Amino acid sequence: MEPSRDQCAFYYTKDDIENLQIKITLQQLTGSQLVAVSPRVVEDTQAGRQNEVPLASLTTAATYPTTHHVTVKWQQKILSVCEALEYRRSIYANDPKYRTRHKQAIKRRKYQRIFTYVHEDNYQLQEQHSATTSKKMEQECCLRQRANRTRGNDSVDSEEVSEKSSVVAKEDKKKRPPTTFQQQYLYIMADLAPQESLGESRVYETVLCVLKYDGQSQLTVTPDFNMPTTKAYRLESFGPDNALYEYQIENVSLTRSAEERNQEEQLANQMARQRIEEIQQMARLDWDTEGQPGQGELRLMTVGEITRALYFPEASSLYIHYALYLPPGWRVNPGTECEGFTPTCWLSHSDEVAAAHFSTPFSLDVTRSSSGKGWPLLLLAAFSLDWFGHDRDEGYAAFALPASGPHDKHQVKDGLYQVGTWRPAQISPLAKMRRFFLGGCQLMSDPSYLAVGAQASSQVGRVSRLGFNTNTSGTIELRASTVVQADFIGKDLQTPLEMPPGWQLSTVAVIDAFNKSRQKLRAAKQGLL
Partner 1 sequence: MSVSSPSVFLLSVSGQVEAGRFMGGDNLHFNYCFTAGQDWEVVSGLEECVSQTACCSDDERQLFVWNFPIDITYKSTNPFGWPQIILSVYGTDFFGNIVIVGYAACHVPLTPGTHTRRLKTFVPESASTIQKLMSWLTGRRPEFLNPKIIAQGRGREVTRVRSHGEITITFNVMMKDFAKLGYDCGAPSKVPYLGAPPPPQTVTVPREGQSDA
Partner 2 sequence: MAEVHVVGQITGASGFPDSSLLCKWLLQLGGGWRLVEGLAEGQTQADRSEVGEEIVWCHPLDIHLSTRGIQGWPRLLLQVYRQDALSRVDVCGYGIIHIPTHPGHHTLHCHTWRPVGTFSEEFRRAFLGGGPQLLSTEFIHSSLERYRLSTIASGTVHLDIGVILREFDKYGIAT
| Interface positions with partner 2 (CB under 8 A) | 279, 282-288, 290-291, 301, 303-305, 307-308, 317, 319, 333, 335, 337, 339-348, 350-351, 355-361, 363, 365, 405-406, 413-415, 479, 481-491
Minimum separation from the CB atom of position 78 to partner 1 (A): 27
Nearest C-alpha neighbor of 369 from the set 299, 307, 416: 299
**Residue 147 near partner 1 by CB under 8 A:** yes
443 binds, among partner 1, partner 2, none (CB under 5 to 8 A by kind): none
Q: For the chain, how far is it from start to end, CA to CA, in angstroms? A: 94
Minimum separation from the CB atom of position 439 to partner 2 (A): 17
Minimum separation from the CB atom of position 301 to partner 2 (A): 5
Minimum separation from the CB atom of position 264 to partner 1 (A): 14
* Whole-number Å distance between alpha carbons of 342 and 361: 9
Number of residues lying near partner 1 (CB under 8 A): 44
Cβ(367)–Cβ(415) below 8 Å: no
**Residue 508 near partner 1 by CB under 8 A:** no
- 206-225 residues near partner 1, rule: CB under 8 A: 214
**Residue 524 near partner 1 by CB under 8 A:** yes
Q: For partner 1, what does the binding mask look like between residues 377 and 416, x meaning CB under 8 A? A: --------------------------xxx-xx--------
Minimum separation from the CB atom of position 487 to partner 1 (A): 12
For the four alpha carbons of 77, 82, 88 and 94, in that order, the dihedral sign comes to negative
Minimum separation from the CB atom of position 319 to partner 2 (A): 6
Annotate 298-316 with b (16+ C-beta within 10 A) or e (fewer): bbbbbebbbbbbbbbeebe
Minimum separation from the CB atom of position 149 to partner 2 (A): 17
Q: Which of these ranges, 62-70, 92-100, 190-198, 488-496, lies near partner 1 under the rule CB under 8 A? A: 488-496
* Whole-number Å distance between alpha carbons of 107 and 99: 13
Cβ(240)–Cβ(6) below 8 Å: no
H or E element in which residue 83 lies: helix 81-87
177, 334, 461, 502: which one binds partner 1 (CB under 8 A):
177
Cβ(24)–Cβ(249) below 8 Å: yes
Minimum separation from the CB atom of position 353 to partner 2 (A): 11
* Whole-number Å distance between alpha carbons of 207 and 479: 62
Residue placing its CB nearer to partner 2 in the complex, 240 or 291: 291
**Residue 489 near partner 1 by CB under 8 A:** yes
Minimum separation from the CB atom of position 517 to partner 1 (A): 5
**Taking the CA atoms of the chain, what radius of gyration do you get in angstroms?**
42
Cβ(421)–Cβ(397) below 8 Å: yes
9, 169, 279, 338: which one binds partner 1 (CB under 8 A):
279
**Residue 183 near partner 1 by CB under 8 A:** yes
Residue 469's identity, in one-letter code, is N
* Whole-number Å distance between alpha carbons of 112 and 69: 9
Residue placing its CB nearer to partner 1 in the complex, 47 or 524: 524
In 9-58, alpha helices (H): 32-37
- 237-276 residues near partner 1, rule: CB under 8 A: 272, 275-276
Q: Could you give the count of Cα atoms lying within 13 Å of 502 in the half-sphere of its Cβ?
A: 8
For the four alpha carbons of 230, 236, 242 and 245, in that order, the dihedral sign comes to negative
**Residue 496 near partner 1 by CB under 8 A:** yes
H or E element in which residue 27 lies: strand 21-30
Minimum separation from the CB atom of position 355 to partner 1 (A): 24
Residue placing its CB nearer to partner 1 in the complex, 71 or 150: 150
Which residues, other chains included, contact 159 with Cβ-Cβ below 8 Å and sequence gap of 6+? Answer: 97, 120
Cβ(189)–Cβ(208) below 8 Å: yes
Cβ(395)–Cβ(490) below 8 Å: no
Residue placing its CB nearer to partner 1 in the complex, 143 or 427: 143
Q: Which of these ranges, 172-180, 345-353, 360-368, 428-436, lies near partner 1 under the rule CB under 8 A? A: 172-180
Q: DSSP string of 53-93?
A: PPPPPTHHHHHS-SEEEEEEETT-----HHHHHHHTSGGGT
State the residues that interact with partner 1 by CB under 8 A: 131, 133-134, 143-144, 146-147, 150-151, 177-179, 181, 183, 214, 272, 275-276, 279, 403-405, 407-408, 484, 489-490, 492-499, 517-518, 520-522, 524-525, 528-529
